[in-house]
């Protein structure tokens, strides 16, 4: 089927922007139609790689947790080390966006804990993990940038 979700959404956005918004006399409604077209465009541009972005991110976080265990594992308090180890060996429960998002938020929550722990540690290992965290966060924001 060539009429993909992306194609349909881009077509709807163009109709809203070029035909409907200019035809509305009410300026508030016209602006809402123009903004709706922009939102649909951003959504359309996120469709194709939505799963790929999340799968990459979850894999990157699991790899980071594994490296963190090697570098600062003995310094971790409580059961954080155990939970990181479990996360390293976890996998995505499915490829639906909702499933990937749920797993992604679970891993991100663990990352917040790891980051806070690393900030209080001394030594080159802790600084290296801290730098890796920021690197992954930067790449994550870049990959998730809304495209209009």
Which parts of this chain interact with another protein (CB under 8 A)? Answer: 26-28, 31-32, 35-36, 38-39, 42, 101, 104-105, 108-109, 111-112, 115-116, 119, 133-134, 137-138, 141, 144-146, 148
The Cα–Cα gap between 49 and 97 comes to 11
Longest dimension (CA), the chain: 67
> Which residue matches tokens 């930067």?
138
For residue 22, the minimal CB distance to another protein (Å) is: 16
Q: Of the two residues 31 and 48, which places its CB atom closer to another protein in the complex?
A: 31
For residue 87, the minimal CB distance to another protein (Å) is: 14
Q: Of the two residues 86 and 105, which places its CB atom closer to another protein in the complex?
A: 105
Q: Of the two residues 18 and 116, which places its CB atom closer to another protein in the complex?
A: 116
Q: Which of 54, 131, 135, 62 is nearest to 95 (CA)?
A: 54
C-alpha torsion angle, residues 81, 92, 106, 111 (rounded to 10): 50
For residue 48, the minimal CB distance to another protein (Å) is: 17
Q: Of the two residues 1 and 141, which places its CB atom closer to another protein in the complex?
A: 141
CA distances from 144 to 46, 74, 81, 131 (A): 8, 34, 29, 20
For residue 116, the minimal CB distance to another protein (Å) is: 6
């Amino acid at each position: 089927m060539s009429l993909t979700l992306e194609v349909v959404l881009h077509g709807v956005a163009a109709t809203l922007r070029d035909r409907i918004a200019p035809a509305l006399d009410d300026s508030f409604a016209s602006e809402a139609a123009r903004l709706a077209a922009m939102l649909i465009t951003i959504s359309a541009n996120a469709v194709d790689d939505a799963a790929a972005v999340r799968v990459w991110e979850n894999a990157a976080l699991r790899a980071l947790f594994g490296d963190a265990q090697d570098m600062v594992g003995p310094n971790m308090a409580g059961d954080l080390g155990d939970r990181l180890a479990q996360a390293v060996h976890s996998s995505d429960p499915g490829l639906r966006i909702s499933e990937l998002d749920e797993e992604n938020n679970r891993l991100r929550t663990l990352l917040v804990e790891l980051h806070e722990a690393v900030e209080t540690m001394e030594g080159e290992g802790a600084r290296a993990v801290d730098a890796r965290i920021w690197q992954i966060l930067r790449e994550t924001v870049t990959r998730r940038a809304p495209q209009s």
